[in-house]
Amino acid sequence: MAEIAVPVVRNILQANERLASENRRRFDEAGIFVINLMSSPGAGKTSLLEKTIDALAGRIGIAVIEGDLQSSCDAERIQKKGVQAVQINTDGGCHLDGNMIQIALSAIDLTGVDLLIIENVGNLVCPAEFNLGEHEKVTILSVAEGDDKPVKYPLMFQICSVLLVNKIDLLPYTDCDVAKIRQTAKHLNPAGKVFEISCRTGEGFAPWLYWIEEKVREHRKNRTSSPHSDKR
């Protein structure tokens, strides 16, 4: 009997690509630089956001979309910094998608926003497969997770423009070999940048902040809509 192909997964991904392209068009018109921030649970995504907001507030307009299975804990942490934050609850879903971002955008006033950071659901697998319309993907790996993660979950490390190796303050207490992480990351993604940081101490933040500021400047220049008419 002839086999019948069932292209279900591809169709889901294609539908998502269409929505992601719509999001991207909207971000580009508004000149907003958008990051899709991914990691396993607890690697330090929200801590990175808190420290980054502290460093850039006043110079760069920031908004955040938070993705978690349940709760609004992370959005509340960000709101305490005086920054707009919208929480998406996926109710068991292991990643964000383009449609969820469209819905979240309807709750954000983009006026004056230069940088939108989307904290994806904590997971090193599925978030890597779904574009959201972001300009760059950033992955965090904490040294407490072990230096074998890039080998075990290669896609996540192949697709990121920046890999942040976090919690370097904990290195004396782990057997993590950061050189091995760098070597595997370079092999998987030769053009990717790797920054070693500690969200606890602030060590290593300067190159990360510089990278963001450069990108924000680039995207501001390309803004085609009025910065005061971004809310739709």
Ligand X SMILES: Nc1nc2c(ncn2[C@@H]2O[C@H](COP(=O)(O)OP(=O)(O)O)[C@@H](O)[C@H]2O)c(=O)[nH]1
Contact 139, 195 (CB under 8 A): no
* Residue 42 found at the interface with ligand X (CB under 6 A): yes
For the chain, the first-to-last Cα distance in angstroms comes to: 53
Minimum gap (Å) between residue 128 Cβ and ligand X: 15
Contact between 167 and ligand X per CB under 6 A = yes
Which of Mg ion, ligand X, none is residue 112 near (CB under 5 to 8 Å by kind)?
none
| The one among 170, 171, 178, 209 contacting ligand X by CB under 6 A | 170
CA distance 221 to 194: 26
| In contact, 23 and 133? CB cutoff 8 Å | yes
Q: Which does residue 199 bind out of Mg ion, ligand X, none, counting CB within 5 to 8 angstroms by kind?
A: ligand X
Residue 47 interacts, among Mg ion, ligand X, none and using kind-specific CB cut-offs from 5 to 8 Å, with ligand X
Q: HSE on the CB side for 31, CA within 13 Å?
A: 20
Q: Which of 67, 122, 150, 192 binds ligand X (CB under 6 A)?
A: 122
Amino acid residing at 51: K
Distance in Å, CB of 190 to ligand X, minimum: 26
Q: Which does 167 bind (CB under 5 to 8 A by kind): Mg ion, ligand X, none?
A: ligand X
Among 11, 14, 41, 217, binds ligand X (CB under 6 A): 41
Choose the stretch contacting ligand X; rule: CB under 6 A; options: 9-17, 27-35, 126-134, 196-204: 196-204
Candidates 117, 194, 198, 219; binder of ligand X (CB under 6 A) is 198
CA atoms within 13 A on the CB side of 183: 6
Handedness of CA 73, 62, 57, 49 (dihedral sign): positive
Among residue numbers 83 through 112, which ones bind ligand X (CB under 6 A)? none
Binding positions for Mg ion, 38-77, rule CB under 5 A: 45-46, 74
> Which of these ranges, 39-47, 89-97, 131-139, 155-163, lies near ligand X under the rule CB under 6 A?
39-47
Instruction: Give residue number: closest CB to Mg ion.
Output: 46
Name the residues that contact ligand X, by CB under 6 A.
39, 41-47, 122, 166-167, 169-170, 198-200
Name the residues that contact Mg ion, by CB under 5 A.
45-46, 74
